[in-house]
């Protein structure tokens, strides 16, 4: 026979356990609500950014392009007569002057032709002189005298031609400059009109730019041109605009601008150069770093920081030079603009300015540390 027997003290123990669990759950719930409320009151984390202040400085308006340097004067030296090269008097890289003898060709045949034409000329001169005397005695007709005079003039021309051919056996430099290339050696047979030297005048170099037609009213002869050459890093050279074409190419929409530079021994023909033509300058312009501009395809704008809050401000820009851009409207001197970290910003974002604010933040942490340990 089953008998239901109650265990003394079981009921009070069970009640105490239930009460403990209820208190524990209530405490956990209360702690979670407090943390959520703290997170809500704290708000979103500040976005770290770097800023620079808008300031005033001189800025120049310029047009930049690239070109290859070319000599202003260049000449292909050709042989004006045929013959064997007996002497080659210059080498590549050597400076020569206009009229300097570069090559001597075999001149024996040319000398014989000069001698032959000179003998014929002397004979005709003597015949003409005698005919003039006989004409005074009416012993020579006028027609015969005219024929002798024509023959004499022809002989003189033949003699001058022979002298010219003889002079061609000495090949001379048509311009002053540097021997850039040589294609002849002593003993070579030289054909008439064959190129044997190339001379460039490196004393004055030119760079030709094809400039868009929108710049046609800005570029003028005499403007200063700055040049940097890839082959000479760290060096800058100054020249000027020498010529500006008044005609725009309808096919390309460009016009030609030629800049001239003095050859100083460093710049050489064929060098690749980067040119900048300054056509205007403002001595006291309001400028900001180019890195501050927001590049999202919209109108020019920047993020300005006021009271650690970012505000997007639209700008009207002016000239640009290197790392600087002129601000014509939208900012004032001293405004702090974001130069790093702007990709994460939105209108009204809270920011933490890095750089100048870092030391202060470290001091606050040092002061807070002892309080945490108490």
Supply angle C-alpha 189, 195, 196, rounded to 5: 65
Q: What is the distance between the alpha carbons of residues 105 and 164, in angstroms, rounded to a whole number? A: 14
Cα–Cα nearest to 173, from 70, 106, 85, 74? 74
Quote the tokens at residue 355: 């750089």
* Domains, in order of start, for the chain: 47-60+283-361 (2.40.420.20), 63-72+202-279 (2.40.30.170), 77-196 (2.40.50.100)
* pTM for the structure as a whole: 0.58
Note the pLDDT of residue 154.
94
Please write the tens of the pLDDT for every residue from 291-343: 999 988 788 999 999 998 999 999 998 888 878 888 999 898 999 999 998 88
Report the percentage of the chain scoring pLDDT > 70: 83
Strand blocks (E) in the chain = 47-53, 55-68, 70-78, 83-88, 95-96, 101-105, 170-172, 177-182, 189-190, 195-212, 224-229, 237-244, 254-262, 272-289, 301-306, 309-314, 316-321, 324-329, 336-340, 351-353
Q: What pLDDT band is residue 61 in, cutting at 50, 70 and 90?
A: confident
pLDDT at 46: 87
pLDDT value of residue 44? 65
Which tens digits make up the pLDDT trace of 245-280? Answer: 989 999 999 999 999 998 777 888 889 999 999 888
pLDDT at residue 139 in the model: 80
Q: Which residues are paired to 205 by β-bridges?
A: 71, 261
Predicted confidence band of residue 45 (pLDDT cuts 50, 70, 90): confident
pLDDT at 184: 93
Contacts 24+ apart (CB under 8 A), 124-131: 124/148, 124/151, 124/152, 124/155, 125/152, 127/152, 128/152
Is 169:104 a contact under the CB 8 Å cutoff?
yes
Per-residue model confidence as pLDDT tens digits over 129-184: 888 888 777 787 888 888 888 999 999 999 999 999 999 999 999 999 999 999 99
First and final C-alpha spacing in the chain: 68
Check residue 19 and give its pLDDT.
44
């Amino acid at each position: 026979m089953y008998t239901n027997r109650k265990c003394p003290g079981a009921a009070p123990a069970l009640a105490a356990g239930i009460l403990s669990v209820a208190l524990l759950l209530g405490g956990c719930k209360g702690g979670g609500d407090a943390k959520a409320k703290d997170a809500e009151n704290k708000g979103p984390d500040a976005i770290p950014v770097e800023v620079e202040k808008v300031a005033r400085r001189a800025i120049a308006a310029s047009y930049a392009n690239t070109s290859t340097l070319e000599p202003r004067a260049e000449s292909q030296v050709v042989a004006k007569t045929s013959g064997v090269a007996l002497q080659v008097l210059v080498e590549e890289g050597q400076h020569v002057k206009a009229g300097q003898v570069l090559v001597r060709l075999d001149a024996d045949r040319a000398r014989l032709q000069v001698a032959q034409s000179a003998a014929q000329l002397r004979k005709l001169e003597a015949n003409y002189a005698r005919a003039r005397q006989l004409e005074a005695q009416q012993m020579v007709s006028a027609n015969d005298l005219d024929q002798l005079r024509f023959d004499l003039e022809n002989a003189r021309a033949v003699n001058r031609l022979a002298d010219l051919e003889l002079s061609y056996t000495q090949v001379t430099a048509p311009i002053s400059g540097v021997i850039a290339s040589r294609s002849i050696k002593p003993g070579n047979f030289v054909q008439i009109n064959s190129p044997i030297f190339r001379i460039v005048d490196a004393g004055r170099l030119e760079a030709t730019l094809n400039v868009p037609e929108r710049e046609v009213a800005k570029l003028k002869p005499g403007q200063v041109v700055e040049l940097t050459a890839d082959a000479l890093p760290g060096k800058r050279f100054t020249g000027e605009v020498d010529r500006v074409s008044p005609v725009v190419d309808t096919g390309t929409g460009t016009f030609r601008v030629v800049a001239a530079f003095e050859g100083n021994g460093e710049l050489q023909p064929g060098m690749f150069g980067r040119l900048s033509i300054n056509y205007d300058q403002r001595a006291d312009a309001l400028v900001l770093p180019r890195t501050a501009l927001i590049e999202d395809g919209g109108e020019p704008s920047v993020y300005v920081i006021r009271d650690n809050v970012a505000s997007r401000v639209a700008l009207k820009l002016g000239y640009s030079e290197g790392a600087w851009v002129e601000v014509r409207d939208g900012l004032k001197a001293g405004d702090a603009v974001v130069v790093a970290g702007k990709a994460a910003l939105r209108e009204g974002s809270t920011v933490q300015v890095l750089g100048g604010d870092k030391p202060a933040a470290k001091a606050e942490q040092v002061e807070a540390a002892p309080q945490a340990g108490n």
